[in-house]
């Protein structure tokens, strides 16, 4: 009972602290300002899907701007990020990361966010792609049992993170508990290379990198908790060390390796969108490259070419394109190799096709050194 009271007080403190910034942000919002003109605009429903997949979309869209309606349900749920290691995750639509949204420049995103009664905490959504009201965070606070609908204009083509930001220390706590995802806003006339020539992709994958900060007991065993707020105090202590205990690519160890590896064929061009909502990351495709990488995630930036490793700042999503030229298994990882191989930040791409001996050949097999 005492513990429950503590949780409630804590929740109240966080809630009241959080509301200062919101009141300030909300005080600017009124009916007097510029009105959205949505008359006659087509409404399209987008069915969101679990990563690493993207919802069905067109790479080019030359029509009039549309209102893209989507819905996300917040789920507080325990997930096993590797065998025997559990976290009380907070998620958009039950996955880590949350689903990728795809719209075109000039479209309006109209999101209905539901926080079911079965959850314990207040949540919201801050879209880095949007403008105003703390990225929509001030307008989307929903307590358990509530829903809210936010509309924003997708006027910046690029890939952008969205995340929960309920205020104060709850912001990093919710983000490191898994509550983020990404949106891709495609230019109407499609993606362009560094020379301004159109590029298209045959497949697209979305990888969300997550650092977890899991408390241990006196014996060094990772602790398990009954709900999303119970680990708060312990987790904050681990967070203060700034070093995650685990890093996952799409929510758990093995989510994108082995039989879950991403797939491609020789000759196919693949778009990879990588997001990190908290720590920085350095992406590397072992045996391949970033043929085109859009710095900072903006499609307005000229893509850089032939990258060996590319940076994803904590709080951004970055798109890269690669055309596979050789079959085999590729590791896609954080080239902070400690994070990749000791903490878990790795995915695989399994590529089918014919080997090209012109690009690489084993001239002689390993054998004893000849004198
Ligand atoms: Cu949240």
- Give the chain's domain count: 2
The closest of 192, 198, 162, 195 to 179, measured between CA atoms, is 162
CATH number of the domain that 339 lies in?
Answer: 2.60.40.420
327 close to 352: Cβ distance less than 8 angstroms: yes
End of a domain among 189, 212, 230?
Answer: 189
Helix ranges restricted to H, 199-332: 232-240
Domain annotation covers residue 135: yes
The pLDDT score that the predictor gives to residue 14 is 54
Cβ within 8 Å of residue 212, ≥6 positions away: 81, 87, 176, 178, 244, 245, 246, 247, 248
End of a domain among 189, 211, 233?
Answer: 189
Residue 262, strand partner residues: 349
Specify the 3-state DSSP secondary structure of 82. strand
151 close to 108: Cβ distance less than 8 angstroms: yes
Residue 10 and residue 167: Cα distance in Å, rounded? Answer: 13
Same domain, 343 and 207: yes
Cα(324) to centroid(ligand 1), Å: 38
Same domain, 322 and 220: yes
Residue 318, strand partner residues: 274
The pLDDT score that the predictor gives to residue 13 is 47
Q: Which two tokens stand for residue 44?
A: 């399209």
Domain annotation covers residue 163: yes
Domain annotation covers residue 210: yes
203 close to 268: Cβ distance less than 8 angstroms: yes
Cα(246) to centroid(ligand 1), Å: 20
The pLDDT score that the predictor gives to residue 33 is 79
Cα(38) to centroid(ligand 1), Å: 30
End of a domain among 149, 167, 189?
Answer: 189
Residue 38, strand partner residues: none
Residue 329, strand partner residues: 350
The closest of 155, 177, 170 to 227, measured between CA atoms, is 177
Cβ within 8 Å of residue 354, ≥6 positions away: 266, 327
Same domain, 182 and 276: no
In the block, which residue shows the tokens 């085999």?
328
Q: Are strands 43-45 and 67-82 parallel, antiparallel or unpaired?
A: parallel
Residue 284 and residue 201: Cα distance in Å, rounded? Answer: 19
Cα(104) to centroid(ligand 1), Å: 27
Same domain, 211 and 125: no
Same domain, 59 and 128: yes
In this structure, the number of other CB atoms found within 10 A of the CB of residue 331 comes to 17
Same domain, 175 and 226: no
The pLDDT score that the predictor gives to residue 16 is 47
In whole angstroms, what separates CA 139 from the centre of its chain? 21
The pLDDT score that the predictor gives to residue 26 is 72
Same domain, 155 and 230: no
The torsion defined by the Cα of 259, 202, 309 and 365, in degrees rounded to 10, comes to 60
Q: How far apart are the first and last CA of the chain?
A: 78
The pLDDT score that the predictor gives to residue 241 is 97
DSSP H or E run through 23: helix 2-26
Domain annotation covers residue 133: yes
pTM: 0.93
In this structure, the number of other CB atoms found within 10 A of the CB of residue 172 comes to 16
Cα(174) to centroid(ligand 1), Å: 5
Same domain, 67 and 182: yes
Residue 368 and residue 236: Cα distance in Å, rounded? Answer: 55
Same domain, 323 and 348: yes
Cα(209) to centroid(ligand 1), Å: 17
Active site residues: 123, 126, 128, 163-164, 174, 179, 284, 308-309, 335
Same domain, 109 and 229: no
pLDDT digits (tens, 9 = 90+) for 112-135: 999 999 999 999 999 999 999 999
| Segments forming the whole domain that contains residue 85 | 42-189
Tell whether the torsion through CA atoms of 95, 98, 104 and 109 is positive or negative.
positive
Same domain, 166 and 207: no
In the block, which residue shows the tokens 């987008």?
46
100 close to 90: Cβ distance less than 8 angstroms: no
DSSP H or E run through 246: strand 246-249
Domain annotation covers residue 310: yes
Q: Which residue positions in the chain have pLDDT lower than 70? A: 1-21, 30-31
The pLDDT score that the predictor gives to residue 5 is 54
Nearest-5° Cα angle at 251, 247 to 257: 80
Domain annotation covers residue 289: yes
Domain annotation covers residue 4: no
Domain annotation covers residue 28: no
Same domain, 185 and 211: no
The pLDDT score that the predictor gives to residue 3 is 53
The closest of 299, 263, 267, 276 to 59, measured between CA atoms, is 299
Determine if the peptide bond prior to 52 is cis (ω within 30°). Answer: yes
């Amino acid at each position: 009972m005492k513990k429950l009271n503590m949780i409630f007080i804590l929740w109240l403190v966080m809630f009241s602290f959080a509301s200062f910034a919101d009141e300030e942000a909300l005080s600017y919002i009124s009916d007097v300002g510029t009105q959205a003109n949505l008359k006659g605009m087509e409404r399209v429903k987008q069915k969101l899907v679990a990563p690493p997949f993207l919802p069905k979309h067109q790479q080019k869209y030359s029509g009039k701007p549309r209102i893209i309606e989507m819905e996300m349900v917040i789920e507080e749920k325990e997930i096993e990020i590797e065998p025997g290691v559990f976290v009380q995750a907070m998620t958009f639509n039950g996955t880590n990361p949350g689903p990728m949204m795809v719209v075109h420049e000039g479209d309006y995103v109209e999101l209905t966010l539901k926080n079911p009664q079965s959850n314990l905490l207040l949540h919201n959504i801050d879209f880095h792609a949007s403008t105003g009201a703390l990225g929509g965070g001030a307008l989307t606070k929903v307590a358990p049992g509530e829903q809210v609908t936010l509309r924003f204009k997708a006027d910046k083509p690029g890939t952008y993170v969205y995340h929960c930001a309920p205020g104060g220390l709850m912001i990093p706590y919710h983000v490191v508990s898994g509550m983020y995802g990404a949106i891709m806003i495609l230019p109407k006339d499609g993606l362009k290379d560094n020379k301004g020539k159109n590029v298209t992709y045959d497949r697209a994958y979305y990888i969300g990198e997550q650092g977890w900060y899991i408390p241990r007991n006196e014996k060094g065993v990772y602790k398990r908790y009954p709900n999303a707020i119970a680990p708060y105090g312990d987790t904050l202590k681990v967070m203060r060390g700034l070093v995650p205990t685990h890093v996952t690519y799409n929510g758990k160890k093995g989510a994108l390796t082995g039989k879950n590896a991403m797939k491609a064929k020789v000759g196919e061009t693949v778009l990879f969108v990588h997001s990190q909502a908290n720590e920085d990351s350095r992406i590397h495709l072992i045996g391949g490259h970033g043929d085109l990488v859009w710095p900072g995630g903006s499609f307005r930036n000229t893509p850089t070419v032939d990258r060996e490793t590319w940076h994803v700042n904590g709080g951004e999503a970055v798109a890269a394109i690669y055309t596979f030229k050789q079959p085999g298994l590729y590791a896609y990882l954080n080239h902070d190799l400690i994070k990749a191989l000791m903490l878990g930040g790795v995915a695989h791409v399994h590529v089918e096709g014919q080997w090209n001996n012109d690009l690489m050949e084993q001239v002689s097999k390993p054998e004893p050194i000849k004198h």
